[in-house]
Structure formats: structure tokens, C-alpha cells
Structure 1
Amino acid sequence: MDVNGVFSFLGVLKEAFKLIPKNGKLIALVALLSVLLSMITYVALDFSILGLSQAMLSTAKSYVPRPSSFNASDPSSSTPSRLNDEFDFMREILALTFAVEIAFMFILLLIFFFTTISTILIAAVSYTGNTLSTKDLFSRVARTWTKPFLTSVYVSIHSLGFLPILVIFAAPVFIYPNIVTILITSILAIAAFLFYLYLVVIWVLAIVVSVTEEGCYGMVAMGKASELVKGQRLKGYMLTLFFILLNLIIAVVYLKISGNKIPSDSIVCGLLFEILAPLVSIYQTVAYTVLYFHCKRQHGEEAEIDIGVANYTLLPTTYPVN
């Protein structure tokens, strides 16, 4: 295996890091909006869940029998109808809690979606050596969001279709738990994981393609991404693996510190995580945008980028190399 090829993703990370300051004010604005909106959403969710939990707790306390309830002559003792009303109320609270969590999850997905589109546009424009105003950025996002949205729907369908494969691979271990099935399942799991990394590269590049290339979205964008990644698979593999491990480390550290019995430490850790997570996501998006241009260069293609200021900026096959 080519060692230089294995570590070629480091060049993408370095180039992405250097690319961010070229339109630093816009990146900072997007990052600030993403962090603030995410924090506001998380705080609102915490207060909503806390309020619902307190309502459920007070209902549960009212269910505890009072001493007088053991006196059959006491008219205020618990009756089946009263208990049914309390259980119905608790079921309503549980359903409302679930609905609130789904609603806030949808809001967070919207924040992530528009942050991703904005970051791809800024990174693509920066790669061509152009600048973009705030007005042009939001105008371009408003005109472009439908394409990456449709592509995201196709990506979600394909990613959900990958779950049955994992279930099929895991089934033999539960049916025939022995050394042979565990070994075979482990080999298949590794192969499935490598294939999943390849699919993730295609899926993410498809989003980038749908933002940067006019009239390319959905299955067309996924097909284009599949063609572009040829010759850059190892770089895409390693880049995806790097960000998977990075996000896993951040999540593990967050869970470990948030489990601390000191409330102040948990609050500080939560705030740091809510700040760090969007920043890592933005850097990851910039890195995949750089990978997209590397793939274009590999195929000797020109890139047409609608930057919202002029009609198009043609990027020649001679790309800036840092």
C-alpha cells in the first residue's frame, strides 16, 4: 500500500484549514449563527423537557395513596376513574415530550442543513480566489437549497437501506453463537464498514455537487459523485475515517465529563460541546469541498461555480496547490 496515499488526506485537511481565512468573515458569521441557534435550541429543549418532567412528577406524586385512602368511608379516597384520569394525563405528557423532541430535532437538522450549504458555497468561492458578500451568500442559499435538499432525501433513503445489511450480517451470531460465526461476521462487518466509508464519501460529495454544479441534484448528483471519487477513493476513505474518529472522541469525552457529579462541570462541558460540534462540522464541510475539487482535478474537468455575483466562475484544470 502506498504510504503517501494513505496520508494524502492530511493535505486536504491542511488546504481546508488555509482556505477558511480567505472568506473568514463569512465563515465566522455562519459559525456564529450556527453556534447561537444550536445553543438556543438546546436550551429551549432542556427547559421544555424539564417543564414536562415536573408536570409528570407532580402527577405521579398525586397518585401516591394518602393515609385517608385506606378509609373506605372517606369520599376523597382514590377511585378507578381518578386513576384513569391521571394515567391519561401522564400518557399525554409522554406523547407531548416525544413530539417536542422530534420538533427540536427537526430544527437542529434545519440549522445543520443551512450551515452546510452556506459553508460549501463559501469554501467553493474561496477555492476559486473570489469573495462573496453576505447578501450574495444568503441570496445564493435561498436559490440553491432545494437541490441539496432533494439530494439529502436520496442520501437518507440509501443510508437507511444500508441498515438491513447490518442486521443480516449480525443475525448469524445471535442464531449460532460460536467461534466460526463470530469470525465470519467480524470479517463481513469490516468489509461492510469499508464499503460504508466509500458510500459516505459519495453521499457527502453528492451534496457538494448539488450545491456547486447547476442542474445537478438527486440521483444525478450521486452518480456524478460516484464518478468523481474514482482515483481518490483512498483519500476519501481516510478523510471520512478521520472525521468519524474525531467526532467519536469528542462524543466520548463529552459523555465522560457530563457524567460528572458536579453540576457546574456538566453545564460547562455541555456549552463547550455545543460550541465545538458546529465548528468541527464546518471544518469537515470545507474539507469535503476541497476533496471535491481534488476529484475534479483528477479527472481534468473544469468546475462551473455559480457564486451569486456574476453568472459563473470557470475554474480551469490548473488548481491552486498549497
Structure 2
Amino acid sequence: MENKSAYQEMIICKPPNLKNKMEMPKLSGLIEILKETIKILHSKNGKLIAKITSIYIIIVSLATISYINLSSFLQHDLLAKETFLILNSPTPPSYTEVYAAVKPDLVLILGLSLFLNLFTIFLYVFTMTATILASAETYSSEKATISFKELMMKVKSSIKRPIITLLYIYLIGIGLSVIVLFFLGSLAFLIENRSVILPTAVVVGILASILWLYLYVVFQLGMTVSIIEEGICGIQAIAKAGRIVKGKRLYGFVFNLVVQMANLIAVIPFMKMNTNGNQSMVYKGIALVILSSFSGILAMFFHMFYTVLYFQCNKIHGKSETGLMGVYEYVKLPYGEVAVDQDLP
């Protein structure tokens, strides 16, 4: 009985006190992350991050302006062909004849749109990877500096992982969008009063957007994990982000909400200008450059913020998680038996 009691005392341990970990995050924690983010911006690597962001803004602005001008020219050419076909035909042209006339322009417009979207996404991931790697280098050691060549080599070896993670995030986003649309369609079918459908759809849309911003904390942190940590990407990176963000998720959600509101405030005037046919292409181009600059700077700060958030979360949960996975091994033993190494004297 004494051996059995001693063994029971040996295997029974007091659970850790989780009271402090379960407390609601305070505003001071968010301010601390913002301060650390600003420190990175003022470091030597911060200048390199600013240069990369400037290059990103210039390339995106030039590519978008070129696309707008070229697509506008193609649309005018498309309308001219359709008008010419209608005026020079003795009978109204059929749909097949109109489609055959405008098909080359349609294919070209769609191809340019697809190319611009893919190019912008790749450039965004490239810039995000460079920003996070340079920020991580600074946060892990304030005196550490990295050259542009070294950074580009790191980006080259790391960029595949965030692309895979981003693909998973897109798939999850598409799935959630289908669920929301199915829910709205069901409501429209069930609600008899048609005047209530639009307000209901607006409310559901707002709630879905807030939910997405809350979920995106894990998604963006998963992108950061896949960039900084080697050999982890996709759903594994997202899962790890979900584990280590516990206790600090509210910080990311509040920050996402502020960034989204800032983007919305910046985009609305540009959309109004774009719908106004009286504005010249020069003014629209200038507005586009300003909008691209604002969005690029905001994205830079966004990625730096999540780099700091990653290190703070990893400091609390990452090490304990690694310790539990790498050190301890649990083995089920029969009740009352003690495992004894036979080689011991």
C-alpha cells in the first residue's frame, strides 16, 4: 500500500493556474504591440521595409493605370465594332454574329484582368514575405541588420509556403461565402414581406464581415507562421496560429477593424470619382496613385503588427507547446504498476 500511495503521489500533479490566462486582454497590451511595431519602422531594417513598400506601390500603380487605359480602349473598340455591325447590316444581327465580332476584345479584356489579379496577388505576397522577414529579423535582435540581397534570398526560399497558406484561406473564404449566400437565399424564400429582405441582407452582410475580421486574425497569423517558420504551411500553419493566438485574439480583431475602416474611408471617395464620368483620366490616375500609396503603407504596418503579435503569442504558447510535444511522452500503465528500467542496479 505504501508503494502504491507513493506512486499515486508521484503521478498526480496540481493543474496550472489558468486564471491570469483566462482574463480579458487589456488595451495596454494592444498599445504595447503598436509601440513595438513603430520601433521596427524606425530601425535600420525599417528603411529597407519602406523601400520595398515604395517599389510595391509604384509597380501596382503603374500596372493598374496601364490596365485601366488599355481596358478602356478595348471597351471603346468593342462598342465601335458592335455599332458598325448594327448599322451596316440590312437585318438586325444575331447574337452569334455580334459575339463573333467582339470575341477577340472580350477575350483580351478578360485575359488582362486575370493577369493583373494574379500579378497583384503574387506581388502582394512577395512584399508581405519580405516585410515580415525583415520585421522578424529586427524584433528578434534589434541590432541585427539584413541587406537587400540577403532578404531577397530568404524571400525566394520562403515564398512558396505563404502562397500555399493563402490558397487554403481563399478556399475557406469561398466556403464561408457560399454558406452566407445560402443563408440569405433561404431567408429570401421564407420571408413573405419583400421590403424586409434588403435590410435583413444588409444586417447579415455586416455580421458576416465582422465574423470574417475575427477569423482573419488566425488566417493572417497563419500567413506569418508559414513565412517565419520553415517546413510549416497551409492548414498546419493556420492550426498553429489558432493555438498560439489564445489570449491575444482580441488585439488582432480590434486592429483588423481599424484597418478595414481606414481602407473603407479611403476607397469610398475613389469609387465616387470613378463613377463620375466628368472626371478626366488624369485626375483618376492621381487618385489611384494616392489610394495605392495609402493602401501600401497600411499593408506594411499591418504585416509588421502581425509579426510582433506572432512573437508575443509564440513567447507565451509556442514554447510550452514545443515543450509538451518534444519533451514529454505519456504512456498508459496498468493501475498500481511502476515502470522500472531493467538495466538499473
TM-score strictly above 0.5:
yes
Aligned equivalent of 1:231, options 234, 247, 257: 247
- State the one-letter code of the partner of 1:171: G
Could you list the per-position Cα deviations for residues 114-165 of structure 1 after superposition, in whole angstroms to 9, with x for gaps in the alignment? 0111111111111122211111000001111111111111111112111122
- State the one-letter code of the partner of 1:19: I
- State the one-letter code of the partner of 1:245: M
Counterparts of 2:182 and 2:95 in 1: how far apart (Å)? 45
Q: Secondary structure in 2 aligned to 1:132?
A: coil
Residue of structure 1 in register with 2:340 after alignment: none
Residue of structure 2 in register with 1:274 after alignment: 292
Change (3 A) 1:185 1:49: closer
Residue of structure 2 in register with 1:297 after alignment: 315
- State the one-letter code of the partner of 1:131: T
* 1:258–1:269 contact (8 Å) kept in structure 2: no
Larger radius of gyration: 2
Counterparts of 2:65 and 2:216 in 1: how far apart (Å)? 31
Residue of structure 2 in register with 1:98 after alignment: 110
* 2:217–2:253 contact (8 Å) kept in structure 1: yes
Change (3 A) 1:249 1:12: farther
Q: Which consecutive unaligned segments of at least 5 residues does structure 2 have? A: 1-22, 323-345
TM, length-normalised to structure 1: 0.80
Change (3 A) 1:296 1:88: same
Residue of structure 2 in register with 1:144 after alignment: 158
Counterparts of 1:243 and 1:25 in 2: how far apart (Å)? 22
Superposed, which structure 2 residues align to 1:59-208 within 5 Å? 59-65=81-87, 78=90, 85-128=97-140, 129=142, 130-177=144-191, 192-208=208-224
Counterparts of 1:52 and 1:97 in 2: how far apart (Å)? 7
Could you list the per-position Cα deviations for residues 298-318 of structure 1 after superposition, in whole angstroms to 9, with x for gaps in the alignment? 3263999xxxxxxxxxxxxxx
Counterparts of 1:182 and 1:61 in 2: how far apart (Å)? 37
Could you list the per-position Cα deviations for residues 162-190 of structure 1 after superposition, in whole angstroms to 9, with x for gaps in the alignment? 11221243234312335999999888767
Superposed, which structure 2 residues align to 1:46-65 within 5 Å? 46-65=68-87
Q: 242-251 or 255-264: which moved more?
A: 255-264
Aligned equivalent of 1:283, options 296, 301, 316: 301
- State the one-letter code of the partner of 1:161: G
Identical positions, percent? 25
* 2:86–2:92 contact (8 Å) kept in structure 1: no
Q: Secondary structure in 2 aligned to 1:215?
A: coil
Residue of structure 2 in register with 1:249 after alignment: 265
Counterparts of 2:40 and 2:27 in 1: how far apart (Å)? 22
Q: 170-179 or 202-211: which moved more?
A: 170-179
Q: 80-89 or 104-113: which moved more?
A: 80-89
Q: Secondary structure in 2 aligned to 1:53?
A: helix
Change (3 A) 1:186 1:25: closer
Counterparts of 2:84 and 2:61 in 1: how far apart (Å)? 35
Q: Secondary structure in 2 aligned to 1:231?
A: coil
Q: 5-14 or 180-189: which moved more?
A: 180-189
Change (3 A) 1:241 1:35: same
* 1:231–1:298 contact (8 Å) kept in structure 2: no
Counterparts of 1:133 and 1:165 in 2: how far apart (Å)? 46
**1:19 and 2:36 matched:** no
* 2:60–2:292 contact (8 Å) kept in structure 1: yes
Counterparts of 2:190 and 2:208 in 1: how far apart (Å)? 20
Q: Give, in angstroms, the shift of residue 86 of structure 1.
A: 4.9
Cα RMSD (Å) of the superposition?
Answer: 3.2
Aligned residue pairs total 293
Q: 142-151 or 81-90: which moved more?
A: 81-90
Q: Which consecutive unaligned segments of at least 5 residues does structure 1 have? A: 67-76, 305-322
- State the one-letter code of the partner of 2:112: V
Counterparts of 1:204 and 1:19 in 2: how far apart (Å)? 19
TM, length-normalised to structure 2: 0.75
